[in-house]
Structure 1
Amino acid sequence: MAVVGAILFAFYSLAVGVAYLMFGASIVPIAILGSVLLVGVQYKVGKYAALKSVGAEDLSESQYPEIHRRIDELCADMDIDKPDMKVASMGVPNAFAVGRKGAGVVVISTELIQTLEMDELEGVVAHELAHIKNRDVVTMMIGQGIASIVGIAAQFIVLFTGDNDIADFFLAMIVGNLVQFFVMIFVLAISRYREYVADADAKQYTGSGEPLARALEKIQAGNQHAQKSKVDEDVAALCIFGEGKGFLAKIVSTHPPAEKRIQRLRE
C-alpha cells in the first residue's frame, strides 16, 4: 500500500508539475482545487449511479429482523455508525458498499439472502462494513481521480507540443487513455489488496473466517450464471465477488482470485 500509494502520489505530482510548466505557478492552486472537485463529483455521482443501477430499496427491519440485529452488533463491535441497509434484485448473489464512514450504504441482493445461511450472510456484511470502516470507497475514488488527472495531463502534453491539429487531437485522446489505463493498474492493485484486508477484518469481527469462506464458494457458484446478472461493470467493481481469468484479466481485476481469498480465510 505504501509503495503503490507513493507511486500514485508521484503521478499526481507529475500532473501538477505539467500544469505548472505549461501555464505557470498561478495555475497550480486551480489544478489542485479542480482535482479535488473531480474526485468529489466522481464520488457523489458514482454512489448515486450504483444504487440507481440495481434499483436498491430499503432493507425492511420488520421483514429481516435477524439480519438487522446482527448488523447492529457488528457495527457496535466495529465502532461505526450503522449504514443504510438496502436490498436489490441483482440476478446473482452479491453485495456491495458505497459511501464513507458515517454516511455509508450496504446493498445485498435478494439472491444472496436466499442462497446463504445466516452466519455466512453475516460474514459478507462484515466484509462490506469493513470497507466502509476503512474508507476503501473513498480511497478508490481518489485513485481513479489521480488516473483521470494524469490522463488529462498527458493529453495536454501531446496537444501543446504538437501542431495542435486534428491528428494531434486524436493522438492526445489515445495517449491520454493509455496513460490513464497504466495508472489504473496501480489503483486496481490497491483494490485487490483492500479486499484481503476486508476479508481479514470480517474474520476478526465474526470470530471465524469459515462462514465467509463458504459464502464466497456459494457466491462464486452463483455467479457462474453471469448472463442473468443485472450488475454492470462499474458496480461489479464494488461487489464482494468479481475476478478475472487469465494473466491480463487478473492484473486489471478489482478482486483477487476467490480461491486465494478462501484459502486465507481458512488458514
Structure 2
Amino acid sequence: MRHLGLKARMAVVGSVLFAFYAVAAVVAMGAFGFPLWLVALGSLAFVGVQYKIGKWAALRSVGAEEMPEERFADVHRRVERLSDDMDIDKPRLMVARMGVPNAFAVGRKGAGTVVVSEELLRLLDADELEGVLAHELAHIRNRDVVMMVLGQGVASIVAIVAQWAVLLTGDNDLADFFLAMVVGQLTQLLVMVFVFAISRYREYVADRDAADLVGGGEPLASALEKISRGSERAGDSEIDSEVSALCIFGDGTGLARLFASHPPVEKRIERLRS
C-alpha cells in the first residue's frame, strides 16, 4: 500500500478533527438550542462550501491566470508526462506573481490545479522546475490537499462556535467581545496544530515521490536551495497564511516550528540528498 504512514497519519488527524467538530456541535446545541440534525447539516454544509470555495479563494488570492500552452510549452509537456507516470489526470496549470519563487497545488486527482509563480519560472532551470512540478503533482495524487482544506474548514467552525459560546454565556459587553475574539483565535490555532503536523509530514512524502519520479533528489534539493535564497531576498510575499500552507516552501524557527506548515528546508534538502 502506497504511503501507509501518510494514510495512517491522515486517519488520526481526521479523527481528531472529527472530535473537535463533535464537541463544537454539542456546544452549539447547548448554546443555541438547535436540534442535532440541524447542527450536523449546517456544519457539513459549511465544510462543503469551504472546500468548494477554498480552491477558488486560493487562486484568487495570488491573482493566478491560465498558463498559455504556446508560451509555456515545455512546462505543459513535462506536467503531462509526469501526470501519465503518476496515473492522474493532467491538472490545470496557472501562473501568478507571488512576490517570491513558489508553487502550490489545490484540488483532487480528477480536478487538480497547479500554480507556479513567475518568479519561480525565472529562477529555476528545467530539471529543478520538473522536480517542483513532480512535488506538487504528488500532493494531488496523495489527496493530502483535501485534508488541508477540510482541516481549515473545521478549524473555522470550531472557532466560530467558541466565540459565540463566550458571548452567549457572558454579559455581552466589550470585555466579552474581546475575550470571544481571543478564545476563537486560540481555539482555531489549537485545531490547526494538528493540521500543520500532517502538513509537515506530507511535504516529506511529496519530496520522496518527486525524487522517485525525476530519477533522484538532487533537482528538487537544488530547487529548494534556490527558492529559499530567493525568498530571503524577495522581502514581502503576496501569499496569505492559508495559501502559504499549501506552497512548496515555508519555514519556521524555534517555537514557531510547532505551528509551521512545512518542515525545516535544510532537513528536506538533507533527506533528498541522502
CA offsets per residue over residues 31-81 of structure 1, 9 Å max, x none? 222222222332333322322233322222222222222111111111111
* Pairing 1:260–2:244 present: no
- From 6, 14, 28, the equivalent of 2:23 is 14
Q: State the match for 2:154 in structure 1.
A: 146
Tell me, yes or no, if the aligned pair for 1:86 and 1:106 is still in contact at 8 Å: yes
Cα deviation for residue 253 of structure 1 reads 1.4
User: Against the structure 1 CA distance between its residues 55 and 174, is the aligned structure 2 distance closer, same or farther, given a 3 Å change threshold?
Assistant: closer
* Pairing 1:73–2:81 present: yes
> What is the TM-score with the length of structure 1 in the denominator?
0.90
Q: State the match for 2:258 in structure 1.
A: 251
Tell me, yes or no, if the aligned pair for 1:19 and 1:27 is still in contact at 8 Å: no
User: C-alpha separation between the residues in 1 aligned to 2:182 and 2:226?
Assistant: 41
CA offsets per residue over residues 192-227 of structure 1, 9 Å max, x none? 111112112212222211111111111111111232
User: C-alpha separation between the residues in 2 aligned to 1:224 and 1:193?
Assistant: 24
- From 178, 193, 196, the equivalent of 1:185 is 193
Q: State the match for 1:238 in structure 2.
A: 246
Cα deviation for residue 260 of structure 1 reads 0.9
Q: Does 73-82 or 88-97 show the bigger shift?
A: 88-97
Q: State the match for 2:38 in structure 1.
A: 30
* Pairing 1:64–2:83 present: no
SS of residue paired to 2:246: coil
Tell me, yes or no, if the aligned pair for 2:29 and 2:39 is still in contact at 8 Å: no
Structure 2 residue runs without a partner (length 5+): 1-8
Structure 1 residue runs without a partner (length 5+): none
* Pairing 1:40–2:38 present: no
Which residue type is aligned with residue 261 of structure 2?
Answer: T
- From 98, 103, 111, the equivalent of 1:95 is 103
User: C-alpha separation between the residues in 2 aligned to 1:87 and 1:22?
Assistant: 46
CA offsets per residue over residues 216-258 of structure 1, 9 Å max, x none? 11111111123253333333222111112222x2111111110
- From 219, 226, 231, the equivalent of 2:234 is 226
> What is the TM-score with the length of structure 2 in the denominator?
0.88
User: Against the structure 1 CA distance between its residues 29 and 203, is the aligned structure 2 distance closer, same or farther, given a 3 Å change threshold?
Assistant: farther
CA offsets per residue over residues 152-188 of structure 1, 9 Å max, x none? 2323432343344554343223222221111111111
Which residue type is aligned with residue 23 of structure 2?
Answer: L
Cα deviation for residue 129 of structure 1 reads 0.8
Tell me, yes or no, if the aligned pair for 1:130 and 1:201 is still in contact at 8 Å: yes
SS of residue paired to 2:81: helix
Cα deviation for residue 22 of structure 1 reads 4.2
User: C-alpha separation between the residues in 2 aligned to 1:156 and 1:231?
Assistant: 30
Tell me, yes or no, if the aligned pair for 2:102 and 2:248 is still in contact at 8 Å: yes
SS of residue paired to 2:112: strand
Q: Percent identity?
A: 63
Tell me, yes or no, if the aligned pair for 1:39 and 1:141 is still in contact at 8 Å: no
Cα deviation for residue 135 of structure 1 reads 2.0
* Pairing 1:198–2:206 present: yes
Q: Does 157-166 or 171-180 show the bigger shift?
A: 157-166
Which residue type is aligned with residue 257 of structure 1?
Answer: P
Tell me, yes or no, if the aligned pair for 1:244 and 1:253 is still in contact at 8 Å: yes
Q: State the match for 2:59 in structure 1.
A: 51
Q: State the match for 2:128 in structure 1.
A: 120
Q: Does 131-140 or 214-223 show the bigger shift?
A: 131-140
SS of residue paired to 1:61: coil
CA RMSD of aligned residues (A): 2.1
Moved over 6 A (4+): none
Which residue type is aligned with residue 168 of structure 1?
Answer: D
User: C-alpha separation between the residues in 1 aligned to 2:25 and 2:271?
Assistant: 40
